[in-house]
A and B are shown apart, each in its own frame.
Chain A
Amino acid sequence: MIGGLFIYNHKGEVLISRVYRDDIGRNAVDAFRVNVIHARQQVRSPVTNFARTSFFHVKRSNIWLAAVTKQNVNAAMVFEFLYKMCDVMTAYFSKISEENIKNNFVLIYELLDEILDFGYPQNSETGALKTFITQQGIKSQHHTKEEQSQITSQVTGQIGWRREGIKYRRNELFLDVLESVNLLMSPQGQVLSAHVSGRVVMKSYLSGMPECKFGMNDKIVIDKQGKGGTTDDSGKSGKQSIAIDDCTFHQCVRLSKFDSERSISFIPPDGEYELMRYRTTKDIILPFRVIPLVREVGRTKLEVKVVIKSNFKPSLLAQKIEVRIPTPLNTSGVQVICMKGKAKYKASENAIVWKIKRMAGMKESQISAEIELLPTNDKKKWARPPISMNFEVPFAPSGLKVRYLKVFEPKLNYSDHDVIKWVRYIGRSGIYETRC
């Protein structure tokens, strides 16, 4: 299991050092600094082994988190834990920075004592942790016996992510379907790979211990229902359903029930959390198409023309559109003309950045640029990185639709109808690249 956990600043100074196992000594702290942080470029793997000691590291801005072990630990678990540790820290003091870590080092030690015991991760749900690890220091004497046992039963309980006795005057639910659409397209316009990775993020402000059921236009479910229902019905809904390649759920979702019935039922955590993630690869709506044209005019000039086409309902508006056209390192000057938005050559980023605030569906726009090059004797050809694109659209490129989210709380007197529900779809670009 995890033998020790260290946090360093960008210089390699230790900010936090917690050792859980006897086989990890102080020299491990230095070994990581010397061999990884100071070695910079040489270390090319997030898992490294020096002197029979394994180091796992992740970086958040310029802070290094390293877990150390001498055993054959579950590597996936260690990384999941490190990410979780980052989440917990973020939940307590927002940004992970050197200053914040120094300011909260007592709290961090307290957290590390709680969520990692002898190197074994323990309950690390912030909802639960915040009930008894507080920045003000725990006022143990003020807790009544009931409160104490409520805390411990929540930390160890089956529903470790929610405490009992939550009350809201207004029961409200916010559901965000956030998708990022990824594309790799060849210069000829052939889709090399495309997938949507989506997340259903929920903010729930519900009283009591509500039982929720979430439904979407999952092809498997719709097809199953279609068999039972009228033929008319199945024909209609069949078109709208989507094939989900795979999905994963927050730990509140009853996985065995999903496995057997494909129904998503759960008791939600309070506040914001990610209910599910999913991935689709079929019938993706690609909101934009990028058509590049690069021409080398002699050795000192490049002509670039890029057309973008929006491919969705004309009534919808895409936002925050940005097209990034890479330029060679030896660029000396760029002249750009674009029909819409603003375009600028950014020498520090080696790219022409073209920004458009808004664009409706089924439209087209174009940019052309002349790039002057300095003559070089570098034999190597310019690698021509792909043209990448960023945007935001108000629909789900996968075609996912939320069909229902039902809330049952038999003990309290509010029903599904009393809950105010909000649903929103946002499609963003993931890695959306077209080779040129």
Chain B
Amino acid sequence: MTDSKYFTTTKKGEIFELKAELNSDKKEKKKEAVKKVIASMTVGKDVSALFPDVVNCMQTDNLELKKLVYLYLMNYAKSQPDMAIMAVNTFVKDCEDPNPLIRALAVRTMGCIRVDKITEYLCEPLRKCLKDEDPYVRKTAAVCVAKLHDINAQLVEDQGFLDTLKDLISDSNPMVVANAVAALSEIAESHPNSNLLDLNPQTINKLLTALNECTEWGQIFILDCLANYMPRDDRESQSICERVTPRLSHANSAVVLSAVKVLMKFMEMLPKDLDYYGTLLKKLAPPLVTLLSAEPELQYVALRNINLIVQKRPEILKHEMKVFFVKYNDPIYVKLEKLDIMIRLASQANIAQVLAELKEYATEVDVDFVRKAVRAIGRCAIKVEQSAERCVSTLLDLIQTKVNYVVQEAIVVIKDIFRKYPNKYESVIATLCENLDSLDEPEARAAMIWIVGEYAERIDNADELLESFLEGFHDESTQVQLQLLTAIVKLFLKKPTETQELVQQVLSLATQDSDNPDLRDRGYIYWRLLSTDPVAAKEVVLAEKPLISEETDLIEPTLLEELICHIGTLASVYHKPPSAFVEGSRGVQHKRIPARAGSGESAESSDVGQSGPSEAPPAVIPSQGDLLGDLLNLDLAPPTATVPSVQPSMQMGAMDLLGGGLDSLLGGDIGGSPSMGAGLGVAPAAMPTALGIAPAVGGVGMPTGSYVAPKTVWLPAMKAKGLEISGTFARRGGIIQMDLTLTNKAMSVMTDFAIQFNRNSFGLAPAGPLQVLTPLSPNQTIDVSLPLSTSGPVMKMEPLNNLQVAVKNNIDVFYFSCQYPLSLIFVEDGKMERQVFLATWKDIPNDNEAQFQIKDIHLNSDAASNKLQGSNIFTIAKRTVEGQDMLYQSVKLTNGIWVLAEMRIQTGNPNYTLSIKCRAPEVCQFVFLCYELVLKN
């Protein structure tokens, strides 16, 4: 029997023919016809016109035919919802069939038919199937709940399917458990805050038991679910790890990687001095190495993950360098990834071997691979000082090959080596200069020009070399133009006598003939500098450059932590958080690694999550130097191809500086040139801190003053025998004031005003008497400001910011209550030290974190942080990741409570996400209200 013939029918009138066949009396003919329909569907033909005819074939006892009809239904039901109803009866009937395979088939298919009307009919059969006696039906029904939830979430909740699904976690059959876990995990993802999965030690225990018994796929579902659990303490963490480690010997790589994920995450909680911690570290290496003998596609996934693991815990694989050596027949994607890991693992101990390998690779065929290998040699030189000399000589050998792209790549990395080891390898410059003509890539040209400019005094014909570049100035890329400008200015400062003409030429090319504002601006700066104060010019242009760091393209710690929580998944392959490539709400929650139990800490506070880096992070992103260089004299791209994502925002900062400097310069203030020099001089000091968490740009701005809400009526005249009190609260220069407006709406004069507060949450009390000096005559209104102190008696109020006030006058005593914004008690010295912030953030248990959405704010992050600062909400640091600004803020309350916040602002999204952490979690809600109040006004 061959089915391939079904693919070949292309005649006209085919549909009619099929229609006739479908309605044939002969079973065989019917089946043949349905097969033809499916084949047409596969190749993309529209056979939806046959819907009623195909559905008519559904009532059959031939299971194969039934499955084919179902397949058709799943594809076309949505386009023919009314017709699809015709199928319902058969489904419902099939769900009662004595054969479990048919019951399961019916419930499985029904869930795939995304027609609202059908889902209503699905509920009853599904309910039965979830409790079916046969595990095969139950495991199918469990997945069906997830399907239904995808169509109509509300229906699933209303029908109580979620509870039934939760019950299935305790099912006796491991496969049912696994599917229930998969379904629940998926549903939970779309309800980030629901406690749907409700992982507690009992359920975890059930999952771990099922783990030993279910299929390989089920093990993956369970392990992926386990990874989301936060163990209560290190002991629980260890016991889970112990039960997960056997999975490392599974033949299925995905099981292994998911187990690695759980272990990597949970071992974070184990004390480092624990014996078990060391044992675990040792156990992780062999399975990771074994993954490299899997099929190439899996190797690729494994290598991308190993890249993360090596960054997080270099100790695991530090002795395994050899397994990452590239094999001649590896696919290119495996080769490139291996190379990346080799560089990360390179150390003094193995550098000789690594270099020998890299040299070998540099002679291979694939251009990308060869380039990367050459670059890697440069990275080794920078990373392992002892090897630098050997690396340089290897690079020189490679330059001798005269292979164009090898030469260019080598020159780019040699430039970096010069920067790392100044005055050491300049003897090779002559060799480099020989290859000047063959350079046609901007990066290589720029690198060469930089070298010539930097070492102009040692190159006899530096002026000729640079002049030769100048001829085609306007055809060069910006990178090269900027570099050339700087190099010639350097040359001029070193050899002023011979090169005056050259410098004038380049300055006029840059300032007069160029349309590029960057180039023009830099040209002007140099011009002014040179003409006003050559000494300052020398100090600025020939300033000592900061050293470049040895580690490049490290993933930023927060992202790394998140990616570790996503080991095995696409996020770990792309090295991007799921939000970067997943649409909608699914999977965009940021996952976190649990924190290690502190030595002296009790068990409760140990399940702390953290967003900040866990340990002192390595100095990341060496581009700081280059950023500075961009301003001063280096236009070279960062030493590696991967540009850290933080860079754009920092570059902006640099621009601002430049702009400011230029203004003062062009403002005609000639005496201002020292200040200009200072401005630039400051930059190197300021820039290095712009890493990781950058100092808030907003902090520079002027505070705009705290927001004061308009007065509202607190005590209506009706209730107070004619006295109406409206008021508001304000904090002005550290003094809390209650602004009151008293109106006499009665017929008689009011006197003898006094005010008293009930005990309240923050001890607010009048700091003086209510100053109503003159009697209040009918229809008269007066405004009073009552200073408040926070030294009164304290009692927790509900709500927290409730204030009960008693006002007395000559007529009676009146009571009212009002609520003050919490910002009233935000003190002026609420700016926390950055280190303290990080530590505190880590220290506060995760349970205390609250998340809020602030909607419809159309401010950029700087404006927002300025506004907030007016209300004593201080931005400590700002970080930009993938177009998302993260502001880290602190607030201190009058009673010494610190509130920490992280505000995330996505460019173009008017909704901010605010995470608040505080040891007294009940204040979070009120702090959020303050944010909203301040930002919206």
Contacts and interface: CB of A to CB of B under 8 A. Distances in A.
Interface of A: 1, 13-17, 19-23, 26, 29, 44-47, 49, 52, 54, 56-58, 69-77, 79-83, 99, 102-106, 109-110, 113, 117-118, 120-125, 132, 137-138, 140-141, 143, 145, 148-149, 151-153, 155-158, 160, 184, 186, 192-193, 195, 197, 245-251, 254-256, 258-259, 274, 276-277, 279, 379-381, 383-386, 388, 431, 433, 435
B403 A380 contact: yes
Given A156-B176, A255-B246, A435-B360, A103 B327 contact: no
Nearest to A56: B297
B215 A160 contact: yes
Interface stretch (B247-255, B601-609, B614-622): B247-255
B302 A248 contact: no
A93 to B, nearest CB: 11
B422 to A, nearest CB: 33
Interface residues of B, number: 118
B43 to A, nearest CB: 6
B582 A120 contact: no
A195 B336 CA distance: 22
Contacts of A153: 135-136
Interface in B146-172: 146-147, 150
Nearest to B365: A383
The 5 closest A-B pairs by CB, nearest first: A246-B286, A102-B4, A137-B64, A152-B136, A76-B254
Interface string B285-298: 01101100101111
Interface stretch (B441-449, B454-462, B508-516, B565-573): B565-573
Given A113-B108, A118-B111, A435-B360, A105 B42 contact: yes
B179 A184 contact: no
Given A149-B134, A279-B293, A431-B329, A140 B287 contact: no
B50 interface: no
A246 B35 CA distance: 48
B280 interface: no
A381 B363 contact: yes
Given A110-B64, A248-B249, A149 B100 contact: yes
A239 B366 CA distance: 45
Nearest to A116: B217
23 contacts: A15-B42, A26-B44, A29-B44, A44-B332, A57-B297, A58-B297, A77-B258, A79-B253, A80-B254, A113-B70, A140-B102, A246-B286, A248-B250, A249-B249, A250-B251, A255-B212, A255-B250, A258-B249, A379-B403, A380-B403, A381-B401, A383-B364, A431-B328
Contacts of A250: 251
Classify the interface of chain B: helix, strand, loop or mixed.
helix
B108 A72 contact: no
B434 to A, nearest CB: 15
Contacts of A82: 297
B2 interface: yes
Nearest to A121: B217
Contact of A109 (B38, B98, B403, B582): B38
B931 to A, nearest CB: 30
Contact of B217 (A20, A58, A77, A99): A77
A117 B249 contact: no
B175 interface: yes
B296 A256 contact: no
B287 A122 contact: no
A255 B568 CA distance: 21
Contacts of B176: 156
Given A52-B581, A105-B42, A72 B571 contact: yes
Contact of B179 (A13, A120, A433): A120
A215 B253 CA distance: 24
Nearest to A154: B136
A249 B251 contact: yes
Nearest to B5: A102
B328 A22 contact: no
B281 to A, nearest CB: 15
Interface in B344-379: 353, 356-357, 360, 363-365, 368
Contacts of B182: 1, 120
Q: Which of A23, A56, A248 has the most CB of B within 10 A?
A: A248
A17 B174 CA distance: 31
B125 to A, nearest CB: 16
A118 B146 contact: yes
B926 interface: no
Interface string B179-190: 100100010000
